[in-house]
Structure 1
């Protein structure tokens, strides 16, 4: 099932044109007329207090999970390199 390079380039060009049209339509459709209200302004202080106050346990569990996944990925890579 060989595809001619010119055919593949034509398909890639068509996909790029469709993507560009969708992006231009999305950007052109945004209404930039008014500034948002500042009634619910969230400050970095409020984010920090919530992150390390109310959500401290979840934050720590997530940090432990990410660390374990990083160590697991390193173990998998080392095992894969040893097989070669």
Structure 2
């Protein structure tokens, strides 16, 4: 099952502008950072900046995965709340 990702966080559309070495196309707008990724990154940033000590234990890799899953869980809740409002 594919989770809803909220669509692109920073959609783009337009035309290629070689004069200023910039591009902007409809084909690119749907790729890249999704709203889900953006929300999860914001949750992670807040947790890391809070200074709250995190228990890592002996299995560092597993603890990091658990935290990342928690960040995405919060992002999913934010997307659900966004749809409900």
TM-score normalised by length of structure 1: 0.32
Give the helix-richer structure, 1 or 2.
1
Q: Which has the larger radius of gyration?
A: 1
